[in-house]
């Protein structure tokens, strides 16, 4: 049930992981956060190592046996985790700094998951098995869905590393409003506009966004985007939802009705669009939500 290639690829991945660990990679990356106080770049690097090993070992299962696929991905990931755990044991027993000076900051501290040695070894192995199991799930689902998930995860990491440069780009409130208008427009177009000409379908798809924008505009003009307001999530004031808020109720309602109505119409375009446009718009909406979440953190 366990493919011979699983041990081979797992061994190769383990050697690479240990070499990178001895260069001090985990200790250096431990100082960089992708999400403040929650996710470090060191953890991301570990997941990439474990996930890559699991992917290559799992991809060797060709007969569609999901049990065999899961076993091979978990084994491949655990081989890498086990090699890193062995390195931590050696590091705790022998001073490696005379050969590998970058290990002056112990690898075990960066991979401890908050547990004390030797409990951290168990945590590392359990985490490795978990990553392998998740990767097996990704290999089972359709390729298109897998690509979207991996692309979104990669984009989250990149955006997280560049967070200081994008904090003021879009707030979570704005992102949620845009996503809602987009989703409502698409849903209405699918359910009610299947047989309508393009122009009529877009107008129909815009209506939910217009209504949503008008309601949010009324709330925004009444202090909804001010500090402590119902439309304000996080420290930064919403940029889009704050459009026209200082100019009065009518201006705010009309401004947001136009903006979210247009977004809803774009959602209606997806119904008969090309796959490239369809996927591109979904990636865009997902990206806006990711920006919003990172801004909120």
Give me the pLDDT at residue 159, please.
65
- Residues in CB range of 195: below 8 A, 6 or more apart: none
Q: Which DSSP state fits 142?
A: -
**Same domain assignment for residues 265 and 195:** yes
The answer to the question of residue 149 being in a domain is no
Q: Report yes or no: 271 and 192 within 8 Å, Cβ to Cβ.
A: no
Does residue 147 fall inside a structural domain? no
Do 23 and 131 lie in a common domain?
Answer: yes
Same domain, 197 and 114: no
pTM metric for this prediction: 0.59
| 190 and 88 co-located in one domain | no
Residues 56 and 75 sit within 8 Å (Cβ to Cβ): no
Does the residue 194 lie in any domain?
yes
Q: Are residues 136 and 177 in the same domain?
A: no
Share of the chain above pLDDT 70, in %: 93
Contacts of 228 (CB under 8 A, 6+ apart): none
The answer to whether residues 136 and 10 belong to one domain is yes
Average pLDDT in the chain: 82
* Domain-located, residue 205: yes
Least confident of 47-61, 64-78, 152-166: 152-166
Whether the per-residue pLDDT at 200 is higher than 80: the answer is yes
Residues 139 and 210: their CA atoms lie apart, in Å, by 41
Query: What's the pLDDT at 130?
Result: 94
Range of the domain at 231: 172-296
pLDDT tens digits along 273-291: 777 777 788 888 888 888 7
Looking at the chain, list the stretches that DSSP marks H as alpha helix, in order from N- to C-terminal side: 4-22, 25-29, 41-58, 66-93, 107-110, 119-140, 143-161, 163-166, 172-192, 198-219, 249-269, 275-296
Q: Which of 100, 110, 117, 55 is nearest to 80 (CA)?
A: 55
Residues 177 and 250 in one domain: yes
Task: Give me the pLDDT at residue 254, please.
Answer: 85
3-class DSSP state of 35: strand
Q: Identify the domain boundary among 140, 156, 186.
A: 140
Please state, in angstroms and rounded to a whole number, the distance separating the CA atoms of residues 41 and 14.
Answer: 19
Predicted local distance difference test score (pLDDT) of residue 161: 65
Grade residue 207 by pLDDT with cuts at 50, 70 and 90. Answer: very high
Q: Is 97 domain-assigned?
A: yes
Cis ω before 118 (30° cut-off from 0): yes
- Asked if residue 246 and residue 127 are part of one domain, the reply reads no
Is 216 part of a structural domain of the chain? yes
Are 38 and 136 within one domain? yes
230 vs 160 pLDDT, higher one: 230
Q: Which of 12-26, 69-83, 242-256 has the lowest mean pLDDT?
A: 242-256
**Domain stop point among 140, 163, 191:** 140
- Cis amide leading into 25 (omega within 30): no
Number of domains in the chain: 2
Point out the domain boundary residue: 140, 156, 191.
140
The whole-angstrom separation of Cα 222 and Cα 200 is 34
30, pLDDT greater than 60:
yes
Of 180 and 104, the one with more pLDDT: 180
Comparing 163 with 264, which gets the higher pLDDT? 264
Using pLDDT thresholds of 50, 70 and 90, give the confidence band for residue 90. Answer: confident
105/227 same-domain check: no
pLDDT digit string (tens) for 44-70? 888 988 998 998 888 887 777 788 889
- How far is residue 156 CA from its own chain's centroid? 4
pLDDT digits (tens, 9 = 90+) for 98-134: 777 766 677 777 777 767 777 888 989 999 999 999 9
Weakest mean pLDDT among 19-33, 126-140, 207-221: 19-33
Q: Is the pLDDT of residue 76 over 80?
A: yes
The answer to whether position 167 is within a domain reads no
9 with 127, same domain: the answer is: yes
Asked if 285 and 178 sit in the same domain, the reply is yes
> Is 153 inside a domain boundary?
no
């Amino acid at each position: 049930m366990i493919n011979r290639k699983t041990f081979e690829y797992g061994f190769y991945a383990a050697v690479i992981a240990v070499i990178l660990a001895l260069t001090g990679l985990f200790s250096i990356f431990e100082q960089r956060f992708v999400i403040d106080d929650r996710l470090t770049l060191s953890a991301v690097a570990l997941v990439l190592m474990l996930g890559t090993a699991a992917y290559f070992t799992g991809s060797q299962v060709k007969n569609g046996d999901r049990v065999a696929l899961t076993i091979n991905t978990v084994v491949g990931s655990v081989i890498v985790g086990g090699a890193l755990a062995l390195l931590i044991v050696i590091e705790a027993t022998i001073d490696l700094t005379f050969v590998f000076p970058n290990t002056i900051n112990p690898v075990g501290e960066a991979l401890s998951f908050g547990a004390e040695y030797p409990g951290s070894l168990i945590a590392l192995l359990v985490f490795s098995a978990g990553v392998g199991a998740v990767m097996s799930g990704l290999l089972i689902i359709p390729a298109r869905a897998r690509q979207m998930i991996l692309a979104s995860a990669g984009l989250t990491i990149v955006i997280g590393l560049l967070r200081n440069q994008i904090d003021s780009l879009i707030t979570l409130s704005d992102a949620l409003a845009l996503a809602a208008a987009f989703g409502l427009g698409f849903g209405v177009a699918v359910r009610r506009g299947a047989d309508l000409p393009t122009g009529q379908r877009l107008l129909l798809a815009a209506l939910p966004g217009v209504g949503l924008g008008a309601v949010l505009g009324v709330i925004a003009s009444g202090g909804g985007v001010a500090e402590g307001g119902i439309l304000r999530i996080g420290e930064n004031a919403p940029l889009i939802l704050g459009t026209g808020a200082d100019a009065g109720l009518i201006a705010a309602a009309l401004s947001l009705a136009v903006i979210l109505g247009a977004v809803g119409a774009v959602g209606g375009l997806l119904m008969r669009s090309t796959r490239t446009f369809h996927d591109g718009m979904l990636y865009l909406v997902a990206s806006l939500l990711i920006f919003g979440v990172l801004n909120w953190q």
